[in-house]
Each structure stands twice: as structure tokens, then as C-alpha cells.
Amino acid sequence: MVGKGQALNRLSSPDELEGIRKSIIKQRDPNKPCITICGGTGCLALRGESVIAAFKQKIKRQGVETKVDVRITGCPGFCERGPLVVIKPQNIFYQRIRVEDVPEIISETVLRDNIIDRLLYTDPNTGQKVIYEHEVSFYKKQKRLIIGNNELIDPTIIDDYLAVGGYAALSKVLFRMSPEEVIEEVKKSSLRGRGGGGFPTGIKWETCRKARGDIKYLICNCDEGDPGAFMDRSLMEGNPHSVLEGMIIGAYAIGCHEGYIYVRNEYPLAVKNAGIAIRQAEEYGLLGKDILGSGFDFSIRISRGGGAFVCGESSALMASLEGKPGEARAKYVHTVERGLWDKPTNLNNVETWANVPLIINQGADWYTKIGTPNSKGTKIFSLVGKVNNTGLVEVPMGITLREVIFDIGGGIPGGKEFKAVQTGGPSGGVIPESLLDLPVDFDELTKAGSMMGSGGMIVMDENNCMVDIAKYFLTFLEEESCGKCVPCREGVKRMREILTDITEGRGKDGDIELLERLSAVIIDSSLCALGGTAPNPVLTTIGYFRDEYEAHIRDKRCPAGVCKALISYHIVDEKCPGCRLCEKACPTRAITFVEKRKPVILDQEKCIKCGICYDVCNLDAITVK
């Protein structure tokens, strides 16, 4: 097996590629136990790194290196339960693994096939323990065409990708298809851009191919900026070769010889793994000059972004790539005709590129069987917020929001009521419970006032204030507005100020109308989509939760008990035994202990509404009004 740091042999024909693939597979025993540990950022943040180190160390110490393989994989998506460990070939699923669990896993499960009960996942709805990964409810309803490979491969080892059939699509395209045929296939697949716009990918490629110009550029947009979204991140970290393969196929179809991966520098692992992947692909002759001996040249460079949200917008991204401030420009001449350095430029996002090899391998006919009439294939969502199973979920288009949130996501924690789900990131909107059976696709979400966006999905429960949520997103957009055009720069700021006033008890009649009027001018006259969609969180919350706005403005009351200026904490005298937990926790000494078995007293003058007392009280003796 060829691993890190070793020189690879250059492949100069499709046969050589298949030859090496065969030899890699042959060297691997499918029945040999393999401990796969998630090396994605989520698990690493949960001390996965020390778990990985512990596994390596223990295996060495117990002298079982020959009996068991260890593979550090990409993110399988179930971040809620990380660090994740799966023992193959049985696919025993262990979750929330700590360093202390490692020796036991080796000695019991790997060497003796015993299941360790306490490390298994308990289904929150049934209370049952689940042994195998594919039986976990979180995975069951998913259709993991794109992200599924993450857990099979070590992203830093190209052979792992080849072992799962990697670069076969590239080989097929280069030797058995003309560029036009590739474009035709992608058009037939009805693949739509996964970055937010949902523009048909095949048509974009075709326009770029036909655009006049001797030099054309190709860009992979890995500037994922929605708060809480990390689909592209985990693809780039976990399976960079699938993105590269998609890009090379795209380059061949369009006629590009230079490509860029624009990745935000806040994604250090994505930057690192993409770099390793490019190097390895180059060494194998899958990237660079004369790819696989076909005569086709294509090189990819990484450009690291500074993390501005607006740089996810194509023209702003290109400006940033050119070294200019990341500002959008008017796109009445499209970037496929005049983009990077004024040359025709085709930009797609990470997930879109990763779909391409799949379409080529399986064919457009197969691909179009998945999804709804106008949205084909699958979509990865990052399911976060008030939901039991947070993580990345890949689902077929057309699945309902209810299935995603309740079947895959496992519902709302703590038995709370579901209130709304925000899709499409800060530019999307909230969708209330009444629309939970909405099928998830590009057009349906837009009709509901929200959007697919790049796939953020934030679940909210009864304890979320909708005005506060709108304020949160507007604050984000205000901060991220580039400031070039007036409506976005000033209008969004003004909207945020009005929302702040409402949440702080200074709301007045007419504020809702002013918000709506500002929204109209911002949507209609902003320069780019950042401004054009910025009022969505406000308009959808006004649309679906107008009563909450009115409660804030007229009654000076926050029904969800979130907006500090409008709420107060109170001791429920009959429930409070004077246990002093809250008194000790209170940072401002607003709570006074009287005597045992008598309720404490809360001084409203001193209370800063931090909510700590509410959180520490085990007896529901504190309420919010």
C-alpha cells in the first residue's frame, strides 16, 4: 500500500489506473478487523485526537498491528455523538469514545468480538441500544451517496479513494466521452448548484464552454459561511479527491486548464487535506500535465480566503481571489463569460463538484430517479439547533422536513415543542410547524419564503424567540455586508436597529411596516444576493409569527422568554425549598436565602436576567415571565 510521504508511480493510461486499483483492493482483506475513527473537525474538537493516539499506541503495545487496521476517516456526519468509532467489518457503532475506553475496545470487541454495551448508542425515542451503524435511526433514512464515502477512506491516502472506485469517472470521461457528451450527461442529470443559487450545472458549463476566450478558469467554492453549516467543510476534509475528480471532469468538459479551490482559512484541515490530495493526484498523474496519458492538462491551486461571508458570492470570491477586496460586482455580464481576471470562469461549490463523478459513473438516468421533478439527487444538510441528533445528513430531494427533523434528527430534546426550522442560512427564512410536511427541494423552500441555500438547517423550539432569531441573523448580515451598495450597507443595519429596539422594549407601532418597507427596497435594489435575501429572516418571522412581534411591541412581552429587557425571573414559592443552589450561582447576589424550607427571595433590582438560577434549579421553582 502506498501511504503518506511515499512517492507514487505516475499512471499514464486507464489500464494502469485499473491495474493499480486492483492491486490495492487485492492487498486488503475485507474480513480483517478495522477500527475506523472519525478524524473530522467535530470529533477532533471532542478530543478525538487523543482517542486516535490512544488507539495507535495501544495496538502497538498489545502487539496486534498485524491483526487490526486503524483508519482515520472523514466525518460520517453524526457529530452529536462524537468521537465516533466503527469496528469493521461488522460495523459496530461506538459513540462518545474517551481515551479510557480504548483498551477495552481493542481487547474486547476487536480481539474477542464482544460488544461493549455502555459505548453503544441509545435511541432517544425508543430507549433501545443500537449495535450496528446502519441501524442507527440517524443514518437509516439517509441516502448517503456523497458523504457515505467519508467514513470509508482516509482522506490523506489517495489509495483509499481508488479502492472505492475513485477516478474511474475521470478515466471514463477522458477516454470514452467527448466534452460535449459530458456536458450533455450533466445537463440530463438536472444537477443544480448546491451552493445556494440552484442554477443548473450543465447549462452553466455549456455557457462557459461556449464563452469566447482562450483562457478559462474553474473554481471550487469552499467558502462556506453560513453559521452552523459545515457540509462543504466535511466533504473537503473527508473526501477531497471526490471534489478534485469532479473539478477535473468539469475542466475537461468546459476546456479549462487552470483551477482554484477557494477555501476559507478557518478550515485548516480542509486546506491541509485538499493540499495533500492535490499533491497525491499530481504524483499519480491524475492532475497536472497529460492526465492519465490523455493529453489533457489541468492544474489546481488552493487560494485561502479570509472568511468574509460575502466571498461565497461568486463575483466577490473572484475579486478576493484576484487579491482585491471581496466585493460583489454587477453580474449583468455573467462570470461564466467574464469572471476571474475577466476570463470566462466556471464556479461551483464543493458539493456540486462531488456529485459529478457519481453522475458520470452511474449515469444521468440513474441519478434522475432520485429526487423531485425539479430537484434531482441528494442534498447534504447540517442539522443543528434544538434537535437530538445534530450532524450532517444527506437525504434525497423531496424528503419532508418532518422526516429530517423527527426521524433522522430524533426530534426535539427535553420533550420541548418544535417551533420552527430555519433553512438556507442567514439569507434563508424560518418555516413553521404547519409547513413541516413540505418536501425539501429548491422550489418548495423558496415558495415558503425560505431557500435551500447551501444546506443549513437550524431547528428551534418553544424557547426560541422569533424576533431574537431575526435579530441574530440580521446582526450577522450587518457585520458581513461588504458595504458597497447603500440598501444592504445601511438598510440591513437599520433593520437590525429596529429589531434591537423591539427586543429591548422600545418597539413602537409602525415598526413592522417600516421593516417591511425597508425589506422591499433592500430586496429589490441590492447589488448582490447577500442584500437581496437579507430581509428573509425578518419577513418570514413576521409572516409566520407576527403575534410574537406584536407581543414585543404592544405588550412589551417576549412570549418565548428570551429577550432580557422584556422578561423577569420569579421564584415559585410553593416549589422552592430554599436549597440555596440558585443563591450560590447568582453572580449579582440578587437571591437572598431566608431559612431552610422557606423560599428564597429574588431582588429584581439586582437581577441581570442571566438565567443561571433558572438553569441550576432542579425543581422548576424559578419561572420566566
Nearest partner of 220 among 200, 245, 238, judged by Cα? 245
Using an 8 Å Cβ cutoff, are 106 and 63 in contact?
A: no
350-362 vs 179-188: helix crossing angle, rounded to 10: 100
Distance of closest approach, residue 532 Cβ to other proteins, in angstroms: 7
Q: Measured from the CB atom, is 331 or 556 closer to other proteins?
A: 331
Q: Measured from the CB atom, is 320 or 352 closer to other proteins?
A: 320
> Distance between CA atoms of 174 and 295, rounded to whole angstroms?
9
Pull the grid cell for residue 287.
Answer: 492532475
Distance of closest approach, residue 225 Cβ to other proteins, in angstroms: 14
Distance of closest approach, residue 493 Cβ to other proteins, in angstroms: 5
Distance of closest approach, residue 503 Cβ to other proteins, in angstroms: 17
Q: Measured from the CB atom, is 249 or 518 closer to other proteins?
A: 518
Distance of closest approach, residue 339 Cβ to other proteins, in angstroms: 16
Distance of closest approach, residue 510 Cβ to other proteins, in angstroms: 9
Helix H or strand E encompassing 430: strand 429-432
Distance of closest approach, residue 49 Cβ to other proteins, in angstroms: 35
Q: Measured from the CB atom, is 306 or 577 closer to other proteins?
A: 306
> Distance between CA atoms of 503 and 497, rounded to whole angstroms?
10
Q: C-alpha distances in angstroms, 62 versus 57, 85, 90, 92, 484?
A: 9, 19, 22, 21, 62
Pull the grid cell for residue 412.
Answer: 426535539
Q: Measured from the CB atom, is 145 or 477 closer to other proteins?
A: 477
Distance of closest approach, residue 549 Cβ to other proteins, in angstroms: 18
Bond preceding residue 83 cis, omega within 30 of 0: yes
Q: State the residues that interact with other proteins by CB under 8 A.
A: 308, 325, 329-330, 332-333, 478-487, 489-491, 493-494, 497, 514, 517-518, 520-521, 523-527, 532
Q: Measured from the CB atom, is 293 or 532 closer to other proteins?
A: 532
Helix H or strand E encompassing 116: none
Pull the grid cell for residue 325.
Answer: 477586496
> Distance between CA atoms of 393 and 359, rounded to whole angstroms?
20
Distance of closest approach, residue 341 Cβ to other proteins, in angstroms: 12
Q: Measured from the CB atom, is 87 or 477 closer to other proteins?
A: 477
Q: Measured from the CB atom, is 486 or 581 closer to other proteins?
A: 486
Nearest partner of 249 among 192, 298, 315, 289, judged by Cα? 298
Distance of closest approach, residue 538 Cβ to other proteins, in angstroms: 16
Q: Measured from the CB atom, is 67 or 508 closer to other proteins?
A: 508
CA–chain centroid gap for 511, Å, is: 34
DSSP codes, 247-304: HHHHHHHHT-SEEEEEEETT-HHHHHHHHHHHHHHHHTTSSBSSGGGSS--BEEEEEE
Longest C-alpha distance within the chain, in Å?
87
End-to-end Cα separation, the chain, in angstroms: 65
Distance of closest approach, residue 540 Cβ to other proteins, in angstroms: 18
Distance of closest approach, residue 314 Cβ to other proteins, in angstroms: 16
Using an 8 Å Cβ cutoff, are 363 and 185 in contact?
A: yes
> Distance between CA atoms of 444 and 439, rounded to whole angstroms?
7
Q: Measured from the CB atom, is 368 or 446 closer to other proteins?
A: 446
Q: Measured from the CB atom, is 44 or 488 closer to other proteins?
A: 488
Q: Measured from the CB atom, is 115 or 486 closer to other proteins?
A: 486
**Burial class, 354, CB count within 10 angstroms (exposed 0-12 / middle 13-18 / buried 19+):** buried
Q: Measured from the CB atom, is 187 or 489 closer to other proteins?
A: 489
Distance of closest approach, residue 331 Cβ to other proteins, in angstroms: 9
Would you say how long the chain is, in residues? Answer: 625
Using an 8 Å Cβ cutoff, are 305 and 320 in contact?
A: yes
Q: C-alpha distances in angstroms, 255 versus 149, 248, 351, 604?
A: 28, 10, 21, 69
Phi-psi region of 308 (alpha: psi -120 to 50; beta: other; left: phi over 0): beta
Using an 8 Å Cβ cutoff, are 250 and 218 in contact?
A: yes
